[in-house]
Amino acid sequence: MDQMDHYYRNMRSAGFSRNTVDSTRKHKCPNCSFEFALVYGRTTACRGCAEVVKNCPKIRCPKCDHEWYLREVGHIADKHREHQVADHISDIITDYYDSQGWKKNR
């Protein structure tokens, strides 16, 4: 069992969904090698973009603005899983914007 499988198992036993784990998992930008969590990228690099609350299937680096698709990440292997994670993170961002009284677009 690899380290990430162990991490998922422990997070699930603590009551976290796989979507939540994938939203907080670190990603490495293929352009500049900056490491960040998807939720951090969405709240910083994607702030104000209308697609952030519309199930955007992309990851955007908050350091260099490079974008790539979620399905290009090893643990998100297909469009179905990509859609699940995109939908989950959009719900998180929508709730965050609503709680802050922010508009969902620029």
Predicted pLDDT at 9: 78
Predicted confidence at residue 17, as pLDDT, reads: 79
Is the pTM here over 0.85, yes or no? Answer: no
Q: What is the pLDDT of residue 35?
A: 93
* pLDDT for the residue numbered 52: 81
Q: What is the pLDDT of residues 33-80, one digit of tens each?
A: 999 988 888 888 887 788 888 888 998 999 999 999 888 887 787 888
The mean per-residue pLDDT over the stretch 82-91 comes to: 88
pLDDT of residue 2: 60
Q: What is the pLDDT of residues 1-40, one digit of tens each?
A: 566 677 777 877 888 777 777 777 888 999 999 999 888 8
Torsion (CA) 43, 45, 46, 47 in degrees, nearest 10: 60
